[in-house]
Amino acid sequence: MTSQAQRVCSTASQNSAQLSQPSLQLSSSNNNVPAEQVITIPVVVHVVYNLAVENISDEQIISQIEALNADFSKTNSDFNKVPSVFAKYAASSNIRFELAKTNPMGQTTSGIIRKKTTRMMWTDDDKIKYEANGGSTTWDAKAYLNVWVCNTVPGLTGYATFPGGQQAVDGIVVRYDAFGTKGRLMLPFNKGRTLTHEVGHWLGLKHLWGDQTCGEDGIDDTPKQRAGNIGDPVFPRTTPCNTSPEGEMFMNFMDFTNDASMGMFTEGQKQVMRNQFSVSGSRNTILKSRGLSEAWNNNVELNVMPVNTRDLVVYPNPVNRSTSTIRLLVNTPINANGKHFAIISSNGQIVKMGHIQEMQQDIDVQNLTPGMYSIRLTDSESNSYTKFVKN
Just list the catalytic residues.
198
Listed in sequence order, the residues at least 6 apart from 37 whose beta carbon sits closer than 8 Å to its beta carbon are 94
Q: Where are the beta strands (DSSP E) in the chain?
A: 39-49, 95-99, 112-116, 145-150, 158-160, 172-175, 305-306, 312-315, 325-330, 340-345, 350-355, 360-364, 371-378, 383-390
CB distance 249 to 224 below 8 Å: no
**Burial zone of 316 (CB within 10 Å; 0-12 exposed, 13-18 middle, 19+ buried):** exposed
Q: Please name the residue ranges forming H helices in 216-276.
A: 267-275
Burial of 311 (0-12, 13-18, 19+ CB in 10 A): middle
DSSP-assigned states of every residue in 296-326:
S--SSS---EE--TTTEEEESSSBPTT--EE
Cα separation of the two ends of the chain: 56
List the Cα angle 73/9/158 in 5-degree steps: 75
- Beta-ladder partners of 388: 373
Share of the chain residues as helix, strand and coil, in percent rounded to the nearest 5: 20, 25, 55
CA distance 334 to 371: 26
